Amino acid sequence: MSYLTEEQLTHFRDLLERQEATIRFRARLTIPAEPDDCDVTEVDDALGNKEFAELADIEAAKLRISQRQYGLCSECGCTIAEARLEAYPIAKRCTHCQRLHEQHRQ
């Protein structure tokens, strides 16, 4: 089994952090303009459920990076294709298991 190198992990952590910043920035834009008052709690309050779920996924992915579990499928334990992680850095299943998962939900 070939696992991601330190360099690749850093790269994906960057991707995740950029994604997180984008979500937080987007959320900030939805806050009604108030001149000198924009603290973090308000930003968090302004997050919709979708953003909130995305941030939770990003947090989980960053945690997997620090535990060296990132890029491993949570179902079968195989390595997730790098191209898939590149397109979808919060992926926690390989394409095969993801497909099965989605079929089961229908």
Minimum distance from residue 78 beta carbon to Zn ion (Å):
5
Minimum gap (Å) between residue 101 Cβ and Zn ion? 9
CB neighbours of 102 closer than 8 A, spacing ≥ 6?
none
In terms of CB distance, is 55 or 73 closer to Zn ion? 73
Residue partners of 54: CB distance under 8 A and separation at least 6: 19, 23, 90
94 binds Zn ion (CB under 5 A): yes
76 is a site residue for Zn ion (CB under 5 A): yes
In whole angstroms, give the CA distance from residue 19 to residue 53: 13
Instruction: State yes or no: residue 73 binds Zn ion (CB under 5 A).
Output: yes
Stretch touching Zn ion by CB under 5 A, among 13-21, 33-41, 60-68, 92-100: 92-100
d(CA 49, CA 76): 29
Q: Under a CB-based contact definition with an 8 Å cutoff, are residues 84 and 95 in contact?
A: yes
What is the SS3 assignment for 4?
Answer: coil
Q: Is residue 75 a contact residue for Zn ion (CB under 5 A)?
A: yes
CB nearer to Zn ion: give 43 or 73.
73
The residues that touch Zn ion, with contacts defined as CB under 5 A, are: 73, 75-76, 94, 97
